[in-house]
Amino acid sequence: MEPKPNWLGHVVALIAGMSLPLAFSPFDYYPIAILSLTLLFLCWQHVDARTAALRGFLFGLGLFGVGISWIYVAIHVFGQASVFLAGALTTVFVAFLAFYTAGLGWGVKRLSRSLTLSGADFVLLLPVSWLAFEWFKAWFLTGFPWLEVGVSQIAGPLSGYIPLVGAFGVSLIAAFSAGVLAYCWHYKKLLGLLLVVLVWSAGYALQSVVWTTEKGEALTVTIVQGNVPQDIKWDKEQVIKTLALYQAETERHWSSDLVVWPENAITAFYHQVKSFYLDPLAVAAREHKTDILLGLPIYEAENELYYNGMMSLGSDVGFYHKRHLVPFGDYVPFEWLRGLIAFFNLPMSSFAIGADRQPLLTAGGQKVGVSICYEDTFSNEVLETLPEASILVNATNNAWYGDSFAPHQHLQISQNRALEMGRAIIRATTNGVSAFIDHKGQLEATTRQFEQAALTGKVQPRQGSTFYVQWQRWPIFGLALFMFVVWAYYRQSNSKSQTH
């Protein structure tokens, strides 16, 4: 007999999903992530696979409907789509992601083969399944690793594990904590809470471990935040004004060792501004012993391709081409979509993909690991710059998302990358939040949003590797596989005992 639908469980699943974004910036209520997953896991108790899928879908609607509501801002405000069309496109994207969590619920119940989840299901199967969901979401269709639960734990005790297993691994630990709590609640086994206390206490103790060492003297660095409005940024009349703005701010900070401009700070191709702007700027930079890292599009005439790039200017000249492009932002997946609506015909939305392996830029006498925009949401790609890079730079344009959650969520992701890599991050944005993040993932200084600013601070280069840099994700994949094997063995043994 199939269980009767429990509408309260549906509502709880939706509310649990809607609550999860509160664990992330700008709210930073990190324990909510554990409670949200606990409620989701309990919602999958005593239901069949179809009901579990429905509740997983509702959870996903809540999670992504609230957590990535900024997609609407990008489409409506800057993509010039109508309220109805922007709302429809955002809803479709949110629903698409919610099918991931629906599949998660369905898969868990199919694997457990029972309406009733056992202790092993809660403590082993569900955490591993959640990790598989996050991995799939970060990989499928170029990946969307936003709202990883581990990222939300940067301000809590579990952050001690981030240099060991990365934010991705902390997602497994957070899901394990939720699974134990769900088990304790449902089966009234309060002794299991000691396991959660032990795991969290160990994380707190690990926070004091320093994984990397200082390399040379600290650099004086200035971040220039131009705050050029997105809706006029690419206008021809604005280009000269923008060039003058960034040059003037840089000249005020010749005393700095390094000046960093954000993604596409220069809204003209490299070859168009090289002779009259960049070459003289490079001469002045060398005279003052200051290096500049700046973002601009780079045209390759030989292949008729153009790249979203960063270049170093001063003591060394080098280029980095963005490798992980944003669909509909950096390129349009299906060219036939162009012309249907303004959002599919945004300026500079046909960038080519940069090469996988590119030499690191040199600035301030240091090797710099550069990421552009949401490239730093892909931890495994930032890993490729280590341990050679002694400092990290993320140059981004958050103007697309206005006054939404996105800039704050992205800043929190950058904090996780700093702690994972044991490196300071210089985060330069077009209109905020620009920041200096130390090697422990702590914010040392930030700018306000929607203001023109020049933020100066000290950045300490570092050398060496965290455990995560050395071993990357292999230990957490190994642990997840071990947990799954133990769960499978337990389920098989339990099935045999029930047949005798």
Task: Give catalytic residues, as residue numbers.
Answer: 263, 322, 373
> Where does 140-218 show beta strands of DSSP type E?
213-214
CA dist 190 and 360 (Å) reads: 52
DSSP assignment of 94-126: HHHHHHHHHHHHHHHHHHHTSSS--HHIIIIIH
The two structure tokens encoding residue 360:
């690191």
DSSP assignment of 404-429: SSHHHHHHHHHHHHHHHHT--EEEEE
Encode 421-447: b = buried (16+ Cβ within 10 Å), e = exposed: bbbbbbbbbbbbbbbbbbbbbebeebb
Judge if the upstream peptide bond of residue 5 is cis by omega within 30 degrees of 0: no
Q: How many residues are recorded in the chain?
A: 500
Q: Helix axis angle, 49-67 relative to 7-19, nearest 10°? A: 30
- Which of 305, 377, 412 has its CA nearest to residue 23? 412
- Which of 405, 460, 457 has its CA nearest to residue 434? 457
Radius of gyration of the chain (CA): 24
CA dist 3 and 1 (Å) reads: 6
With beta carbons less than 8 A apart as the criterion, state whether 92 and 142 touch.
no
Angle, CA of 383, 386 and 322, to the nearest 5°: 60
3-state secondary structure of 381: helix
Sheet strand arrangement including 366-372? 361-363, 366-372, 391-396, 425-429, 435-437, 443-446
The two structure tokens encoding residue 217:
């003297």
CA dist 345 and 325 (Å) reads: 16
CA dist 43 and 63 (Å) reads: 15
With beta carbons less than 8 A apart as the criterion, state whether 467 and 211 touch.
yes
C-beta neighbour count of 498 within 10 angstroms? 7
List Cβ neighbours of 344 (8 Å cut-off, separation of 6 or more). Answer: 328, 332, 337, 338
C-beta neighbour count of 489 within 10 angstroms? 11
Residue whose structure tokens are 């936003």: 146
Inter-CA distances, 146 with 64, 167, 224, 247, 416, Å: 10, 12, 26, 34, 12
With beta carbons less than 8 A apart as the criterion, state whether 125 and 108 touch.
yes
State the sign of the Cα–Cα–Cα–Cα dihedral 35, 40, 43, 47: negative
Classify the phi-psi angles of 100: left when phi > 0, otherwise alpha if psi is within -120 to 50, otherwise beta: alpha
